[in-house]
Amino acid sequence: MTDRHEHARQRRRTLGLLFASASAAVSTAVLAGATPLARAAAPLREIRIGYQKYGTLTLLKGRGTLEQRLKASNIAVEWTEFPAGPQLLEGLNVGSIDFGTVGEAPPIFAQAAGAALVYVGNEPPSPASEAIVVPRTSTLRTLADLKGKKIVLNKGSNVHYLLVKALEKAGIPYADIQPVYLPPADARAAFERGAVDAWAIWDPFLAAAEKQLGARVLANGEGLVANHQFYLSARGFAQQHPDIVRIVIEELAKVDAWGSAHPQEVSAILSAQTGLPPEVVALAASRYAYGVKPVTPRVLAEQQKIADVFHGLKLIPKPIAVREAQPPATLLAKE
């Protein structure tokens, strides 16, 4: 009997210690803000924005107006540059940024890969801001001449769809070209040394190729693609901070309206931000489409058509429903 009582006392003592230890751990986690509830309740102190080497986000960064707007709420802005849209959305997917801008194709590839993103805004079509270029001395004169040729591009970027539509217009199956997938800097190097026959690229890299390399435009996006520029947010960030996302879109629209009326100042700011010569930036800016606004169901429906084309060509592994990446209702504009 005594042994049984002693065993029971030991068991109660052990359970008591375990409970005390667990309670202490929970208390420590709560005080440190480590629980999901604490994280959700914590005020936002920073928004992390991914941008590329050009465009309205770069202009917004140069003007500093978003920082001024958010300062009253004690929210800082952290800017991270990416070489292209697919890399930017990879950063969004792994949680290194909260918001960013890309062309038409990257969100489709990212959504097909399971990225938790939402569309929150877009710019008007800008088809002349991307093109397929060839060296000045190239014998290629028409899109039909691309059959069997090496064409360098950033896989999953906006120019991927341009290339698809250009080949379709020329009656060339996608399988009848040799795509070479490289980011812009490496693609330019391959183009310069003659390792590829053509380059599908966007501004300001397009403008730089024209001005600095004498590249000749074989075809741009006019009559082929819309070439929307999209603003996207991590799904969790948009759900938890729709007011902040709305502020970013509002500030983008403001700096966009200012830029349309001040082209020389735009060129100066973008030249300073990108390190590109003023004449390169000026050429790119001349093709720019102004008018940032919240995304609409109609624009997302246009994205669905692109997604269906990519799936048909087996460029994405599965069909996707773009509507699943629409933003919370408070951020979706009405038609």
Q: Is 307:319 a contact under the CB 8 Å cutoff?
A: yes
Check residue 130 and give left, alpha or beta (phi > 0: left; psi -120 to 50: alpha). Answer: beta
Q: Is pTM, for the whole model, over 0.95?
A: no
User: What is the rounded CA–CA span in Å between residue 111 and residue 106?
Assistant: 9
Domain that residue 141 falls in: 127-220
Round the average pLDDT of the chain to a whole number and report it.
Answer: 88
**pLDDT at residue 117 above 90?**
yes
Q: Is residue 133 part of a domain?
A: yes
**What is the pLDDT, as a whole number, of residue 133?**
98
The two tokens of residue 201 are 């690229």
Share of the chain above pLDDT 90, in %: 79
Phi, psi of 137 (to 5 degrees): -95, 5
Q: Is residue 169 part of a domain?
A: yes
Taking CA atoms, 270 is separated from 157, 184, 207, in Å, by: 22, 18, 13
Both 91 and 183 in a single domain? no
Q: Is residue 316 part of a domain?
A: yes
For the stretch 160-188, pLDDT in tens is: 999 999 999 999 999 999 999 999 999 99
Which one-letter amino acid corresponds to residue 323? R
**pLDDT at residue 334 above 80?**
no
Both 211 and 278 in a single domain? no
Residue 285: which CATH number? 3.40.190.10
The residue-averaged pLDDT of 321-332 equals 92
Nearest CA to 333 among 244, 250, 224, 263? 250
3-state secondary structure of 199: strand
**pLDDT at residue 27 above 90?**
no
Q: In what order do the strands lie in the sheet with 150-153?
A: 178-181, 150-153, 198-202, 130-134, 216-220
Q: Is residue 4 part of a domain?
A: no
Total of domains in the chain: 2
